[in-house]
Every structure is written in structure tokens, then in C-alpha cells.
Structure 1
């Protein structure tokens, strides 16, 4: 479908997209550009490569069908300096109206040069939230005529902890259209947007790989913080009958030690390390020894361990942390023998800021990971308590009351596993 068929772009922009080689609009662009032109608030959710930046660049340029005034009409907020340059570069590729002046604001020593750029006139400002706020407070960034606010890579802005300057800038603009572009939506992001978004249209596209990778059955548990992850792990591991053999993957030795101490308080000798660093710590030099040991149910593996592991015949794989390398994650969940009667369930614990990486993994494997509801007995750790716990070493491991509300083991299987999964797992007595 050509750009001119259904999109209300001016002729100059239609020529531009064809000249740069964008022969056909992407799905996200088809669903959003006319809404942007119509003045609607939008939250657009799409993976990297779905055309988010080009979408709003075209929407912004389409507004300037007259000689600009040199006063900011559009404020675009992005996570960091490199994004400022990338967005300005895209404007330069598509903009034929050279009277439009674009100024970039980002953290760099001194304010003077950027303030001078604004003083010389700016129609579009592309900025990191912290620098835009700092210059606004110096009365050098005029927001009085801004009628379009764009928040790009909003999930990354939240990840960098820049929510407050975004909200303050948005609230300083009298009346504007708001466009938000993100790879994923979650509670922390929604909290940032709530103060200024007006009944936005939520548009989501998925661009999954055409090649579908055969994986073990998977479940995704979205939890608010590390403390809740730890409680969830304790809750699951309490069920010795179901969770007979489990490998838990973490990113660092520090996290591994926290998990070991927490689980050891209940499981005693039932938890061990793979390749422990200290001789007096229970562990195994290879995973086959773990499989053969009936007394050990849980093996903690750090992602720093580059050894290729044979995970066959392990009924439960838990990604407590997401490794930096997505290919490492995928290698662990690939089902090399889909016809086998031995089922494996791969469970992923992810906080809001890790959901963007989950989205990228879904793109690579060609299908979505089902999201499971959190168990009703799980104790959710509040954000303040979680930060305090992370700031200092735990003085004591998470006990029964901290991880979950105590109940009899026979009644504790509220893991929100599907009925078929529960049935399959309960059959696997040979793993005990």
C-alpha cells in the first residue's frame, strides 16, 4: 500500500518518504499517523524496527505547513543524548522545509551553548527530560506555545528513572496533544503518564519472527521488584512434591548467594550451586551430578557461567534474572525433543523494566510468552521495602511469613499453572 492511499500527509512529505526508500507504510504508521494528524492523544506500543520514530517525525512535520515562528511548538523527550542525535537525523532526512529550526538539548558540561541555540529560535526541541527541565527552570526554554508533546522510548525513560522531569514538563505545558511511543507498557510507565494523558488511543503492534522456535512450555510472572521475585521463588519451592528438580538462573554471584541463603533456611540441604566458589558450600561440578542426587531439588546457576548445560530431564527451569544475552536465554528454553513424554516448564520472573527485553525475546522466538497471574498467597513487597533490602545485605533470609501466607502444603499449589500442565507435572515421579 502506497503512503498516499490512506494517509493524510502533505505532498511534500509523500515525496520525502519515497525519496528515502520508504515505499510502503508499516502497520504502526497506518494505525497512528491519521490519528496524530487528527489531534488525538496516543500511546503506541511496538518493537524496535516497527517505525515509531518515523511515525511521529512525519506527524510533526505535517503540522508545519506555514513559515515557522521560531518559538517551540513541539517538545520531544527521549532517554539519552544518542537518541537526541538519532531523532534529529531522521528529521533531517525527511524535512524539506529548511526554515524549520530544530534544537537538541542533552546533558553536557555547561548550559550556555544550548541556551544560546534556543535564544536564536527553535520550532522543534528534541531533549532528554533532565536537561529540558533544567533549562526550563533557568527560564530559557519557552513552553508557552508548545502544542505537541512527544515521549519516545518511554519505557527506557522509566528505566533511567526520569519520570519526574517528564511529568513536570508535561504539567508546565498549558494545552497540548500527547504522543507516547514505547516497546512495552507496564505499571510504572502508566503511573508516569496518568497525570497528563487524556483518554489516549492505545495502539499495539507485534512484529514476530517468521521463523517460530520450538520451545518448552513457558510462563511469564510479572512482579514489581526483587523482593517479590524472592518471595515467589520461595513459594514455589515450598512444594517439594511438585517441584522435584529445578534449575534457577541468576545474573550474579551476589544474587545467587541471596537466593541460596533464603532457600537454605527452609530446604536445608535441598539447594546447591553449580560450581560453587567456596569449598565449604554445597554444590556440583556438573549438572549430571545434580540430576543424579535425590537429596537436592534446586540448583542455582549464574549467567556468568559460560558452560553449555544439558538441561534435558529437568522438569522446571526458572529464569530469576534475564541474562544480558538473549540468545543465552533462548538456548535454555529450546525444546530439542518435542516428541518426548518428559515435559519441561520454563518460568520467567520479570519486573516492569525487564519487560522490554521479554518483548525482544518474543520477537526472536516468533511467539508470545503466556503471562501467568501471580499466586494469591504471594506477598508483594512494597517498593520502599525492596529498595531498603537491595541497599544492604539481608540480615536474615526470607522466612515463611515473609515469602507467603502460611498454609498447609496440600493446599499450597496455587501456582496458576494450566490444568494440563499440572497434570503433566504431577505425573513426573521419575524426576524425584
Structure 2
């Protein structure tokens, strides 16, 4: 068994970890701690529960050692208030040095009280990006002494569209160590970190452990956007011989209606909606009626109906969108061993912003979802050439109010104010 002393932390921190119930260091701590203590930039990719938060909490407490300045020396950015409070709680659990002051900033509550807390002195600030930026612009957050800039749950921050405040805060700091912790690292996150990080070392922990659940076969398509998802669905479902009976899950009934309109152009009577919003759209109120239908082979189902459906004897289950709750997805892919049924395949589409949910599902079932290659003839929306609208320039006819300029009044030069001043004084 690896001992906590392997992390080369101070004795008070090792004692605090022991008191908190840590029996040994996590893999991510063993891989990254020496780099963190050496003030190097790192990107750590690891699933939930792998010890990411405790890693940077221990690293920052070790680097700061004690409180002595009014301005903060570490800024930790997290997605929301719940994360702010959870991180502060972790600091309080492991911080035995009471001279280190920790302040939380989040949208709820008055900004003045949070600015007053900063004015009283803070060594570590744990904040949401939007609130930290707002207080910084009001000159309430001093970034001049920042040594460590930490972004936790970075993929979730990108998903919530808070890239701008993160980038602005990072660029406002002249020089510091950057630490990024995330469960997935995708193109959108890379675009954010590349604005302020250079030559960062990347560590990836991908320990799924043993397979915990027996599931039906699965494949995953990674796509850039929702329109490309619909294009891919259209392309696959054209094969009537293979996709004889299909359930397509989306998150909302409005999305189901939107997808129906797109697919109906090509599939006509072969597609229907489960409990449709509009009476003029073909649909079913019972899943058994769909199973027995000879004409309809595709049924769109919205997750917000929150109904448990009997999926036995349906060979293909599509997730056009990753469900908002992990349990919803897992309930559909776990094999029902008590009932004999034919083979089934779950096909999921995920954008960059949905990869965090994919990772959580893989962690829960203890099995990676195989990644499938996109078909060559798939139309990817972001690669489509944009339509250029030609604007015709209409020649204005000279009417009675139009007079051509005299040749002597036509100016083919444009002097700057500086040149005009020179000419003025030259003629004096």
C-alpha cells in the first residue's frame, strides 16, 4: 500500500489527511502533485470521485503555507454556488493553518458583502467565473498577487457558456501557475485553455474498474452539433432492412416535434411520435401498439414524459441527445435477464458538451462505449459552405435635385490634421 508520505506534503497536511479518513494517495495525486508543487502548468483529466478537488486543495495549501498578504494568492473557479461551498468545505477539512483565509464568491447574495469579505483579507478565493469577473471589474478583486489560477470541473464551465469570464480573468494575471481539472477534454475546452496556457503537461486517469453492469451492445458517434446529429440519423434510418424497429430518445417533446418534421420529409408514414404535442401528427399512446404496427418503424420518445417503457423486442435504441440524468440512460441499456428477448443495440450521439455525461455513464457501468467512425457521406453542418447573398448595386438616376460636382471642387486627396497644421504654419 502506498503511504501518504509519498506525496511529499508537510506533516500537518499528512496528519489532516489521516484525520479526514484518507488511507492512501489517489492515482491523480501521485501523478500530478510533484508538478503542482513545482509550479508547473497541468491539465488533469479524470472521472468524478478520482480525487481532483483534494489534489489542488492540498497543492495550494502546500504552496501558500501561511497567510500574510491582503491580496489573494490563489483563485479557484468552479461552475456554481454548490461547487463553491463544497470546495470551501474541503479546504476547511484539510487546512489546519488558520492564518490562511478562504473567501467564496457566487451570484446569490449581495455583491457588497462579498467585496467587504475580500477587503478584510483573503489568501484563497473560490468563485464562479461570472461573479469573480463582476467583482474584478468593480475593482473589488485584486489579481496582482495571484500565484495559482485553478479551474475545476472545466468541461461543465464550458457547457454553461462561461468561457469569456475565465479567459478574461486568466489574461488579467501577469504570471502564475495554471491548473485545469476536468472529467473530459474536448475541442471547446482546448480552445479556452490555449488562450492562456503554454506547454502544459496533461495527465489522464481513466480507471473504469471492473464491469459493474451487464448491458446491451452499444456504440457512440461523436458529432459537432445538433444539426449533424439529425443528418446522421436521417442517413442511418434510410436502411429499412437493418433498422426495422427503432426508438429514438430526445430530451423534450418540442425537440421530438422538431426532429419529426426533419425526418418526415424522407420517411413519411414510417415515423411517429410517442404521445405527440399536436393532434395532427401521427403518434402512439401505448408502446405495444407501436411494436405491433406494420407501417411505423420509428418512434420518437421525449424524456420529459418521465415514463418507464417496455423496450423488449425493440432491436435499436437511439439516443439523439444524452439524457440529463445518468440513471435514465442506464435503465435503458441494462440487460433484463429475467425476460428472454432478442439482441438489441444502443446507438448514442454526443457533442463535446455531452461527453461529460458519457464519461459518467462509462464510470457507472464500468465499461467504455465503443466509438464508431462517422460515415463518409455524412453532411457535417459546420463544414457546409455558407450561402453568399449577392447584393445588387442599383445605379441612382440623376434627377432634378442631382448636380454633378465641378471639376475644380472634386477632391482626390485627404490630408491628415497633422499635415494641415504643417501647411498652415508654413504659409505664415
SS at match of 1:170: helix
**What does residue range 63-212 of structure 1 map to in structure 2 within 5 Å?**
63-65=63-65, 68-208=68-208, 210-212=210-212
Give the TM-score taking structure 2 as reference length: 0.83
Deviation of the 1:67 alpha carbon: 5.2
Match of 1:14 in 2: 14
Measured in 2, the distance between the counterparts of 1:384 and 1:20 equals 55
Measured in 2, the distance between the counterparts of 1:255 and 1:265 equals 16
SS at match of 2:171: helix
Match of 1:419 in 2: none
Q: Is the 8 A contact 1:7 1:33 kept in 2?
A: yes
Measured in 1, the distance between the counterparts of 2:218 and 2:233 equals 16
Deviation of the 1:112 alpha carbon: 2.2
Over 3 Å counting, the alpha-carbon distance change for 1:236 and 1:183 in structure 2 is: same
Match of 2:296 in 1: 296
Measured in 2, the distance between the counterparts of 1:287 and 1:109 equals 48
Match of 1:412 in 2: none
Match of 1:48 in 2: 48
Is 82-91 or 303-312 further displaced after alignment? 303-312
Deviations 1:2-40 (A, max 9, x none): 544421211111111111111211122122112211222
RMSD of aligned residue pairs (Cα, Å)? 2.5
Match of 1:252 in 2: 252
Match of 2:34 in 1: 34
Task: Say which one has the larger Rg.
Answer: 2
SS at match of 2:219: strand
Deviation of the 1:90 alpha carbon: 1.2
Over 3 Å counting, the alpha-carbon distance change for 1:93 and 1:281 in structure 2 is: same
Over 3 Å counting, the alpha-carbon distance change for 1:384 and 1:133 in structure 2 is: farther
Match of 2:240 in 1: 240
Over 3 Å counting, the alpha-carbon distance change for 1:199 and 1:95 in structure 2 is: same
Measured in 1, the distance between the counterparts of 2:383 and 2:357 equals 21
Match of 2:381 in 1: 381
Deviation of the 1:98 alpha carbon: 1.2
Give the TM-score taking structure 1 as reference length: 0.83
Measured in 1, the distance between the counterparts of 2:262 and 2:105 equals 46
Is 225-234 or 100-109 further displaced after alignment? 100-109
Q: Is the 8 A contact 2:153 2:183 kept in 1?
A: yes
Measured in 2, the distance between the counterparts of 1:231 and 1:352 equals 17
SS at match of 2:324: coil
Deviations 1:106-154 (A, max 9, x none): 2245432222222222211111111111121222222122121000111
Q: Is the 8 A contact 2:13 2:95 kept in 1?
A: yes
Is 197-206 or 249-258 further displaced after alignment? 197-206
Q: Which runs of 5+ in 1 are unaligned?
A: 386-432
Q: Is the 8 A contact 2:67 2:101 kept in 1?
A: no
Is 286-295 or 57-66 further displaced after alignment? 286-295
Q: Is the 8 A contact 1:225 1:383 kept in 2?
A: no
Measured in 2, the distance between the counterparts of 1:26 and 1:37 equals 16
Measured in 2, the distance between the counterparts of 1:335 and 1:108 equals 44
Q: Is the 8 A contact 1:72 1:146 kept in 2?
A: yes
SS at match of 1:228: helix
Is 103-112 or 173-182 further displaced after alignment? 103-112
SS at match of 1:40: coil
Deviation of the 1:256 alpha carbon: 1.0
Deviations 1:242-267 (A, max 9, x none): 32221111122111111111111111
Measured in 2, the distance between the counterparts of 1:149 and 1:186 equals 20
